[in-house]
Amino acid sequence: MIDQPMTPSPVAKLFKAKRLAMNLTQEELASKVSEGLNPPDRLSQQSYAAYERGKSQTSRHMMQIATVLGLSWDEVSRIMFAELMEPPPPPPHNGIEADHEGQPEAHIEDEYFVARLLEQHDLPNEPGRTEIRERSKTDIRFSSSKLRQIGVSPANVICVTVYGNSMEPALPHGCVVGVDKARSIVQDGEIYALIHNDHLRVRLLYRLPSGGIRLRSYNREEHPDEEYSPQQIREQRVIIIGRVFWHSAYR
């Protein structure tokens, strides 16, 4: 069962604070955003309200909302990236309990932790549009000690579901990859998970001399290389989550 997030994202909280500071109602803000869109595209008050409340964690009009509120996309993207970098909340106890004689008793389970999972979901009544949700209750468990042996901090681990056949045969559709959020600086030829216009993607990345990036698939016959300039990275809301260190491939 998928947990539906209901807490507003940090960006949504920022938008609300700026909106209130500008004395704009949700309806007025949605109307101003819609004025800058190409018909029939529009932002309804109901859609914006759902985003501001946290019922929806993303909005395809985030860049236009930021513009109306006088915010730069660089500022918004930094907040989005910082949110991804937040470690999971600590467990309710430290893993040590007292036995019947009052002596501390360690548990083997404390060597393992359950990883969070990012999933992509289609938006109802909006073909081709998606949003990304986080599922905290999963069956994906990692050994903390083994992660440290390969230089990965448990606090920086998040898992991502692979969609499509672009990374076949190594990473088929539906498999899950483990991502180290601390390693988001591109090293040529490594596999990374990223967010691209509210879509989850897993690709080989390469740096370009212009400061942009090249995305490469294993299945290059169907998915040729893609190159993005720094400006396109900002406009298309490309955020590198981190480097892939583990995968669970299955058919």
Q: Is the pLDDT of residue 34 over 90?
A: yes
Average pLDDT on 162-181 reads 90
- 175-210 residue pLDDT tens: 899 999 999 999 999 999 999 988 899 999 999 998
- Count how many Cα atoms sit within 13 Å of the Cα of residue 8 in the half-sphere of its side chain: 14
In CATH, which superfamily holds the domain spanning 109-248?
Answer: Umud Fragment, subunit A (2.10.109.10)
Task: For domain 10-85, give its CATH number from 3.30.750.24, 3.40.50.720, 1.20.1090.10, 1.10.260.40.
Answer: 1.10.260.40
Q: Any idea where the domains of the chain sit in the sequence?
A: 10-85, 109-248
Write out the two tokens for 6.
């209901």
CA distance readout (Å), 107 to 39, 63, 92, 97: 60, 48, 15, 9
- 233-246 residue pLDDT tens: 989 989 999 999 98
pLDDT confidence of residue 106: 33
Average pLDDT on 145-158 reads 87
pLDDT confidence of residue 231: 92
Percent of the chain surpassing pLDDT 90? 39
CA 159 to chain centre: 10
Average pLDDT on 95-113 reads 45
Answer yes or no: are the C-beta atoms of 115 and 140 closer than 8 Å: yes
pLDDT confidence of residue 11: 86
Q: How far apart are CA 170 and CA 227, in angstroms?
A: 22
pLDDT confidence of residue 82: 57
The set of residues, in sequence order, having a beta carbon less than 8 Å from that of 132 and lying 6+ positions away, is 57, 58, 118, 119, 120, 121, 195, 198, 200
Query: pTM score > 0.85 for this model?
Result: no
pLDDT confidence of residue 249: 57
pLDDT confidence of residue 4: 45
Average pLDDT on 115-135 reads 81
Most confident of 36-40, 79-83, 154-158: 154-158
pLDDT confidence of residue 217: 94
